C-alpha cells in the first residue's frame, strides 16, 4: 500500500492546525501551515477544500481568517482525514469490483494484501488527531 502526498500532507496540515488551535484564538491561515510544513499553498488549498466539504474543518474569511477544526481533535481519526481527501487505503491492486489479474480474477496473494489493508484501516481509524498532535504515538512506541 502506498499513501500518496494527498493523504500524508492532509494529515500533516491537520496536525499543525490542531496544535495551533490550542494556542490561538483566531483561525489559522493556510499560508502559515504551508510555510511551517513546507507544503505548497495551492496544494493545501485543494486539500482543505475537500476537508471542508467533508466537515472536518470550517473556514473564516477576512482579516484573521483561516481554518479551524470543525470538531475536537479527539473526535477526528486519521482515517477520517485520509478518506476526506479521497485517498484509498487498500493494499491490493484490484479495482472496485474487479480482480487483480487481466481476466478479472484475484491474484494468489490477494487475501494477504486485503488483510493488510484492513489492518491499516483499523489502525488509522483508532488513532485520533489528538493522539498525533500531542505526541502520544511517540510515547506509546517508546514504552513498547
pLDDT of residue 22: 66
Q: How far apart are CA 54 and CA 13, in angstroms?
A: 15
Mean pLDDT over 28-32 rounds to 93
CB distance 30 to 66 below 8 Å: yes
Start-to-end C-alpha separation, the chain: 25
Using one digit for the tens of pLDDT, what is the confidence trace for 46-89? Answer: 999 999 999 999 998 888 789 999 999 999 999 999 999 977 66
Mean pLDDT taken over the chain: 85
Q: CATH no. for residue 36?
A: 1.10.10.10
pLDDT of residue 96: 57
Q: Going by C-beta distance under 8 Å and a sequence separation of 6 or more, which residues neighbour residue 111?
A: none
Cβ–Cβ under 8 Å, residues 33 and 18 = no
Higher pLDDT pick, 107 / 59? 59
What is the total count of domains within the chain? Answer: 1
Choose the most confident range, by mean pLDDT, from 23-27, 58-62, 138-142: 58-62
Percent of the chain with pLDDT over 90: 56
Angle between helices 30-37 and 5-23 (to 10 degrees): 110
Type and span of the H or E element at 130: helix 129-133
Does residue 141 surpass a pLDDT of 60? no
**Owning domain of residue 130:** 5-143
Report pLDDT digits (tens) over 109-133: 888 888 888 898 899 999 999 999 9
In order of 52, 79, 89, 121, the CA distances from 127 in angstroms are 20, 8, 15, 10
Distance of alpha carbon 77 from alpha carbon 41, whole angstroms: 24
- Do residues 68 and 101 lie in contact, with contact meaning Cβ atoms separated by under 8 Å? no
The three cell numbers of residue 95 are 479495482
pLDDT at 140: 61
Q: What are phi and psi of 109, to 5 degrees?
A: -105, 10
pLDDT value of position 91: 65
Amino acid at each position: 500500500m502506498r499513501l500518496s502526498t494527498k493523504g500524508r500532507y492532509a494529515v500533516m496540515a491537520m496536525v499543525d492546525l490542531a496544535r495551533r488551535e490550542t494556542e490561538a484564538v483566531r483561525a489559522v491561515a493556510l499560508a502559515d501551515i504551508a510555510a511551517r510544513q513546507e507544503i505548497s499553498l495551492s496544494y493545501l488549498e485543494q486539500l482543505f477544500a475537500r476537508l471542508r466539504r467533508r466537515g472536518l474543518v470550517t473556514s473564516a474569511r477576512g482579516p484573521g481568517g483561516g481554518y479551524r477544526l470543525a470538531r475536537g481533535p479527539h473526535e477526528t481519526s486519521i482515517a477520517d482525514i485520509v478518506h476526506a481527501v479521497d485517498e484509498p487505503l487498500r493494499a491490493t491492486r484490484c479495482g472496485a469490483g474487479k480482480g487483480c489479474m487481466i481476466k478479472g480474477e484475484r491474484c494468489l496473494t490477494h487475501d494477504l494484501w486485503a488483510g493488510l489493508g484492513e489492518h491499516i484501516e483499523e489502525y488509522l481509524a483508532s488513532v485520533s488527531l489528538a493522539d498525533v498532535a500531542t505526541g502520544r504515538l511517540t510515547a506509546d512506541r517508546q514504552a513498547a
